[in-house]
């Protein structure tokens, strides 16, 4: 299996995280320093690939001297398979959308110029969908055809927009949480050839590890939950998910 989205630089025990039978892991940068760490790990360890970018929660760093140049240089390094994670988040910072839009616009055009997929994080404040609607608007405006809606939040218009552009939709461990009805509905609706699974480790561990530290190997629990939900054979779905991940990130097999 492939973990399409994790943060290996934040995992407390990297040896434990890497001690897995997974075929590949994509470790995601969230600022220049963490992007550099992701690239270093991808260049040091087989089966590890990197994404480099500026997380919406770090969009405030966009105008710091050297930040965009550092990430643009890292994006051209061997082992880098995507830009991001970029995106929109009003859960942690309700006032940051204007800045997050600028950060997204820069990253989506960087992804286009290098012909790489863009990893996009979208999280709304409770009871709102302003981040999702902003994402819809910006995805349509820039219309880049390679991307991943990471940690799918179940927002119908957003998923529809991503699918229309040719993007993949990635499900994380919260698919297994009892209250995730909208996410499970989305997991049924996304066409099989656009599905991905991820851990977002060390965050968001799936049941039965919920509340504990997450590891890339736990991606298997989310894949299993997805197979059960869709009523398909787990081994067949796993093969499809792996093929999708390789196609999405253009990984050598």
User: Is the bond preceding 243 in cis, omega lying within 30 degrees of 0?
Assistant: no
Minimum distance from residue 48 beta carbon to Zn ion (Å): 15
Q: How far apart are CA 77 and CA 160, in angstroms?
A: 32
In the complex, which residue's CB is closest to Zn ion? 200
Instruction: Between 28 and 186, name the residue whose CB sits nearer to Zn ion.
Output: 28
The 10 Å Cβ neighbour count of residue 208 is 9
User: How are strands ordered across the β-sheet holding 168-171?
Assistant: 2-6, 24-28, 48-52, 80-89, 118-123, 147-150, 168-171, 195-197
Shortest Å, Cβ 58 to Zn ion? 12
The binding site for Zn ion (CB under 5 A) comprises 200
Dist. CA 182–CA 13, nearest whole Å:
33
Radius of gyration of the chain (CA): 16
Minimum CB separation of residue 151 from Zn ion in Å reads 7
Which CB sits closer to Zn ion, 195 or 204?
A: 204
What is the smallest separation between the CB atom of 5 and Zn ion, expressed in angstroms?
6
As measured in angstroms, the least distance from the Cβ of 111 to Zn ion is: 16
Query: Nearer to Zn ion by C-beta: 108 or 151?
Result: 151
For residues 31 and 200, which CB has a smaller minimum distance to Zn ion in the complex? 200
Q: For 81, how many CA atoms within 13 A lie in the half-sphere containing its CB?
A: 23
**Identity of the residue, 9 or 188, whose beta carbon is nearer to Zn ion in the bound complex:** 9
């Amino acid at each position: 299996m492939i973990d399409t989205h994790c943060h290996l630089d934040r995992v407390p025990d990297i040896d434990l995280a890497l001690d897995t039978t997974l075929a590949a892991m994509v470790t995601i940068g969230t600022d220049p320093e963490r992007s550099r760490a992701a690239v270093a790990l991808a260049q040091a360890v087989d089966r590890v690939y990197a994404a480099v970018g500026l997380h919406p929660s770090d969009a405030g760093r966009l105008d710091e001297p050297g930040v965009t140049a550092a990430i643009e240089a890292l994006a051209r390094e061997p082992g880098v398979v995507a830009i991001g994670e970029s995106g929109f988040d009003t859960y942690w910072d309700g006032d940051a959308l204007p800045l997050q839009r600028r950060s997204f616009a820069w990253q989506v055009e960087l992804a286009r110029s290098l012909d790489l997929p863009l990893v996009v994080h979208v999280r709304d404040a409770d009871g709102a969908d302003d981040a999702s609607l902003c994402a819809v608007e910006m995805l349509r405006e820039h219309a880049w055809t390679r991307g991943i809606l990471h940690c799918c939040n179940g927002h119908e218009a957003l998923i529809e927009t991503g699918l229309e552009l040719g993007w993949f939709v990635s499900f994380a461990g919260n698919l297994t949480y009892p209250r995730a009805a909208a996410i499970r509905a989305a997991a049924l609706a996304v066409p099989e050839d656009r599905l991905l699974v991820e851990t977002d480790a060390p965050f968001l561990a799936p049941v039965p590890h919920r509340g504990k530290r997450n590891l890339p190997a736990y991606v298997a629990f989310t894949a299993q939950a997805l197979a059960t939900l869709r009523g398909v054979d787990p081994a067949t779905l796993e093969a499809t998910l792996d093929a999708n991940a390789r196609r999405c990130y253009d990984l050598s097999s």
